[in-house]
Chain A
Amino acid sequence: MDNKTRLQYRGDVKREVIKIPVSSGYVFGTVHFPKEYKSDGCARTDKPIVGFVFLNMGHAPRACHGNLIARIGDSLADMGYIALRFDLPGIGDSPGELPEREVPFWRFLLSGGFTELTETVIASFGERCQIDKFVLGGLCGGAIASVIVADAMCDRAAGTILLEPEFAMPALVRGRNPDNKELWSTYNLLQSQRIMRDRIVSLQSWYRVFIGKSAYRDHIRTLLTLLNNKINRLSGMKLPADTNHAAVNCWLRLIKASIPSLVVFSQDETDELVYKEIMSVCFKPNVLDRVVNRKSIPDTNHTFTTQGADSLVIQYIIEWVKTNFR
């Protein structure tokens, strides 16, 4: 299938703007309706209706990079489902407060700070469209927020779609948390490993070592941390130091409740490696596979904006929805 065919929007869906009152004033969202639904109400069948709700990827507006989430909404509506994408306060079209920099915002999002607000939005959306259960999803921070909200919603959560979920909590300042505890984040560790590997095979790098201009202190720290982690892992129970424990606990509950999940990663990028590390501590290999459908797309990036990964993501979602909700 060539790119043009794969990308074709069939025009069978309709988008509508939704404005929902929340504690901070209101939020804006876009609802994707299939053509057979009326805009002022929704067709009701005997089966419980499943709706889809997508949260922002951090501070990116609700369509996301390359319009990925908007296209997912269109694809779901094309299959006959109703999908909502909305902007959290301060993001996209929704008014709200923001910190000056992104890291504090990320930490608030990843610790479930918008859970209550999201539940309000979903309740309003569900009432309007007579939807019983919801699949929650998002990319990166939006994925983690979805996990936390899905856990809070209990039996109204029908599933999760997690694109590059980030199960590590970013540190505020390099190496430190608010309680001033020294922290070597998984991102730094993985980055340092990569830098070390690149330098080992680099002639310029060896030249800098011989002339005494190489920065080697970080490498010593990396080696010591890797050794420490190895020793801890031999005991079988140590999670990475920057694990987002709240999100992981929510995830554990969803797994135990057998809530189906689709998880899509950019292969061998940081988020997948962190995920594998955490899951290897929390689960035996076959337990996750019963509930979680994990996909890994090679040669792409965190936002799936290269090498046709966007179309693959949409294809995986369509297949997963057909398997779990038909």
Chain B
Amino acid sequence: MEFKNQEITDWSPSGTVFRCDEEAGFLAIDDEQLYYVHHPAVGSKRGSVLLAGPFANERTYSAIVWRRWARYLAERGFDVIRFDYRGVGESSGNFHEKTFSVWMDDIRLCVNMLLESSGGCPVILHGLRLGALLLSHLFNSGTADALLMWEPPKSGSIMLKEALRARLSGDMARGRDGRRLTRDDYIGELDAGSLVCVDGYYWSRALWHDAQKYPLHLPSEQEKRSWRVIQLEKRATLIAQGNTQVIPVPKPAFWKMSALLKPDLSSLFEYSTRWITKRGCNIEAT
């Protein structure tokens, strides 16, 4: 929490008053409550965008940026809906009973809501991390007019294995007595049916096995609708040759723990908005 040799001063809000037209609510699904927030388009509507967010605690860390992004899009003429997966955040339900397939149902419910209110405007699916992964499957079923993916993992399994590192780091930081468990040990516990706590979320065997059914589903070469991957961290290889844009974000990335509340994401926001406008909605950007 401290910064060496930097001039930082105390802060207080300047008194700006913010718009009041966003609405939040719950959709009923399977006796549970799915939380959503609707950011109505400012001015004439160019398109509708569904924002599908990241997994578990990545949601906690990315919340400020994700809300900022939703408002950014709304101010540029896009109707935006974002939501919480069941078992996470404001949506009800027990996390340990949820799987990727359950969350696909959550996405379908939100997409249907968006399609009903789109008024004939283009509908764009846009996901971050887990959201990008799940939306790639939905897009493949013919839903929506365009797909924009921010930093999708290569598969659900790979994403969960990366997240397990949080558990391993925590064990190391606490100096756990006795033999320190490895990643394979925790996977063994999951396979045996035990719940494994990772960053406060209890993973189940069902979640672990279901994740294996979700590789990143990149559209085929025959796909006529527009889609794009934006890689936010530099990697050795591109996720989708010919359809990937690399726009590195300040480190640590905004879906990880960081002391930055307002990272500079202007390049990412501008590029993404231009792409959504031009490729998603077929509107020449002015």
Point out residues on A near B: beta carbons under 8 Å.
3-4, 7-9, 11, 14-17, 19, 21, 23-26, 28, 30, 59-68, 70, 74, 89-93, 95-108, 113, 170-174, 178, 185, 187-188, 299, 301, 303-308, 310
Contacts and interface: CB of A to CB of B under 8 A. Distances in A.
Interface string B11-44: 1111111111011111000011101010000000
Contacts of B202: 3, 7
A307 B88 CA distance: 19
If over half of B's interface residues share one DSSP class (helix, strand or loop), that class is named, otherwise mixed; here it is loop
Closest 4 interchain pairs by CB? A66-B200, A305-B200, A25-B18, A104-B11
B11 A99 contact: yes
B201 A24 contact: no
Given A24-B18, A59-B64, A59-B261, A103 B1 contact: yes
A187 B15 CA distance: 33
B19 A103 contact: no
Contact of B197 (A14, A89, A171, A307): A307
B8 A93 contact: no
Contacts of B71: 95
Contacts of B2: 103, 170-171, 173-174, 185, 188
Contacts of A303: 200
Nearest to A305: B200
Interface of B: 1-20, 22-26, 31-33, 35, 37, 57, 59-60, 63-64, 67, 71, 87-90, 92-96, 170, 173-174, 194-195, 197, 199-202, 259-262
B13 A173 contact: no
A70 B59 CA distance: 14
A153 to B, nearest CB: 22
B200 A95 contact: no
A101 B261 contact: yes
Contacts of B15: 23-24
Given A24-B17, A61-B89, A7 B96 contact: yes
B200 A63 contact: no
B93 A24 contact: no
A15 B26 contact: yes
Contact of B9 (A4, A172, A299): A172
A17 B261 contact: no
Contacts of A23: 15, 17
Contacts of A64: 60
Contacts of A25: 17-20
B3 A174 contact: yes
A100 B200 CA distance: 27
A17 B11 contact: no
Given A108-B12, A304-B200, 13 more contacts: A11-B31, A15-B33, A17-B24, A19-B23, A25-B20, A65-B199, A90-B64, A98-B262, A102-B259, A103-B8, A173-B3, A178-B9, A188-B2
B9 A104 contact: yes
Contacts of A98: 64, 261-262
B170 A306 contact: yes
B4 A4 contact: no
B6 A173 contact: yes
Contacts of B16: 24, 97
A306 B197 contact: yes
A66 B261 contact: no
A90 B18 CA distance: 10
Contact of A61 (B63, B87, B92, B262): B63
A101 B260 contact: yes
Contacts of B4: 173-174
B10 A65 contact: no
Nearest to B197: A306
Contacts of A106: 1
Contacts of A108: 10-12
Contacts of B23: 19
Given A9-B94, A172-B8, A173-B8, A103 B200 contact: no
Contact of A92 (B63, B96, B173, B200): B63
9 contacts: A14-B33, A66-B57, A90-B261, A99-B11, A99-B261, A103-B3, A106-B1, A174-B4, A305-B200
A95 B19 CA distance: 8
A68 B260 contact: no
A21 B20 contact: yes
A171 B2 CA distance: 7
B11 A65 contact: no
Contacts of B1: 102-103, 106, 170, 187
Contact of B25 (A17, A305, A307): A17
Given A67-B200, A100-B261, A26 B89 contact: no
A95 B9 contact: no
Given A97-B16, A103-B1, A178 B10 contact: yes
A8 B202 CA distance: 12
